[in-house]
Structure 1
Amino acid sequence: MALFPRSFITNDQSAFPPIFRLLDEFDQYSRSNDRTNQVSNTNTFTPKFDIRELRDSYHLHGELPGIEQKDVEIEFTDASTLTIKGCSERSYLEAESGGSSSPEGETKKKQKKDGAAEDTFWVLERSVGQFSRSFGFPVPVDQDTVKASLKNGILSVVVPKAKKQESRKIIIQ
């Protein structure tokens, strides 16, 4: 049984409007261009976030799978800009049988000429390295009551909007 209907899977690129192909090619180009222009050897990635505005607050929900709470920093860089940054490292559970460094069989051992074992990766799809995302809010926010939680790889941040200052009358003496 196929996961997608036959009409969905096609090698015929004419099924998609040219604008989608252009956008896809631009996305592939920009990703490859970013990798070749990096000055440092530091890996970076961009986690995906959903931002929802409610009447009295903003809710941010971001995907940070495998990242621990201690590896994430949240701060305001100015009155209306929230920055979320952190890092993710690739780690593996050592297999008991000694032949593979991962229970999923992602790697296998290969002997170097000097006799030391080296892992051969067949697929590297997980996002690792440092990340930083900044979010600017169009209205003043209450920085003192921001709440954040990280559960099941989802970072949730609630940023309350600042209460409108009521006008007050000043008495002239």
Structure 2
Amino acid sequence: MMSFFPRSFCAPATTDVSFTPLFRLLEDYDNYSREVQNADAGRQRRPRQARSGLATFTPKFDVGETENTYELHGEFPGLQRENVNIEFTEPQTIVIRGRVERTYSEPNNSNTNAGTTTEPAEAGRRNSHQATVEDDPEDEHTPASTPATTPKPGAAKPAAPGQSQDVTKAPTQQEPKYWLWERSVGEFSRTFSFPTPVDHDNVTANLNNGILTVTVPKAKKLTARRIAIN
């Protein structure tokens, strides 16, 4: 059993071996790991208002080839058609760039808003009706054709019995507190180079259900053509 190990491994060390370089290497690696983790955590915790500029991310693509075309399938949740640009920078190089701006919709409060909007309108109709009735409270036998007297400026109109003078304020919506920011939001750019010439004029792109599909036809191979001499 002892023959499988070198003599220095089993024998007691005659000199002190310094592990300082190893410890320093481990410490540097630990510091680097902590910095990366803190940076990722900071990006996840920062609120929406703190994003003064758009971040960048790398979208994922599936690239396939058929007999006559190249197909690119990119994953872009929340991407709008007007926010993506596809162009050829070189004869066989295509660039797909754009940005994803994610908006966070509030809970559906259509019923609450409708109720809040309707109540002041109804109160306004009641107030206008009551103001017309109370224009001349002393003369109850005035014909309907008699014009109502104009109230004096600054005179406060008495409130009807049971009518509350408190103005109901619409409840303010408190924004949720987000603990993680894991969705890809910001600017992106991907470049793809094709091994063979492609047909620029017949390239098609389609965005459906968050999947961007770009179909690039291959250029037709030039066949030898014999020219007759007249």
What's the TM-score, normalizing by structure 2? 0.48
Q: Distance in 1 between matches of 2:91 and 2:194?
A: 9
AA partner of residue 134 (structure 1): T
CA offset digits 1:105-142 (Å, max 9, x no partner): xxx2xxxxxxxxxxx42110011110000000000000
- 1:168 deviates by 1.3
Alpha carbons 2:54, 2:185 under 8 Å: kept: no
Residue 76 (1) aligns with residue 88 (2): yes
AA partner of residue 80 (structure 1): Q
Question: What is the aligned partner in structure 1 of residue 70 from structure 2?
Answer: 58
Question: What is the aligned partner in structure 2 of residue 138 from structure 1?
Answer: 195
Pairing of 1:1-173 with structure 2 (within 5 A) = 32=36, 42-95=54-107, 96=109, 98-101=172-175, 108=176, 120-171=177-228
- Give the number of aligned pairs: 123
- 1:100 deviates by 4.7
Q: Distance in 1 between matches of 2:87 and 2:205?
A: 11
Structure 2 alignment gaps of length 5 or more: 1-32, 41-52, 113-171
Query: Which entry has the higher C-alpha Rg, 1 or 2?
Result: 2
**Secondary structure, in 3 states, of the residue corresponding to 1:144?**
helix
CA offset digits 1:134-156 (Å, max 9, x no partner): 00000000010001000000000
Q: Distance in 1 between matches of 2:98 and 2:174?
A: 29
- 1:160 deviates by 0.4
Alpha carbons 1:94, 1:100 under 8 Å: kept: no
Greater helix content: 2
AA partner of residue 58 (structure 1): Y
- 1:99 deviates by 4.3
CA offset digits 1:21-78 (Å, max 9, x no partner): xxxxxxxx7xx49x79xxxx54100100000011110111000100111101110011
Q: Distance in 2 between matches of 1:58 and 1:100?
A: 49
AA partner of residue 57 (structure 1): T
Alpha carbons 1:147, 1:159 under 8 Å: kept: yes
- 1:171 deviates by 4.4
Q: Distance in 2 between matches of 1:89 and 1:147?
A: 24
Question: What is the aligned partner in structure 2 of residue 112 from structure 1?
Answer: none
Q: Distance in 2 between matches of 1:57 and 1:84?
A: 17
- 1:94 deviates by 2.3
Q: Distance in 1 between matches of 2:214 and 2:81?
A: 13
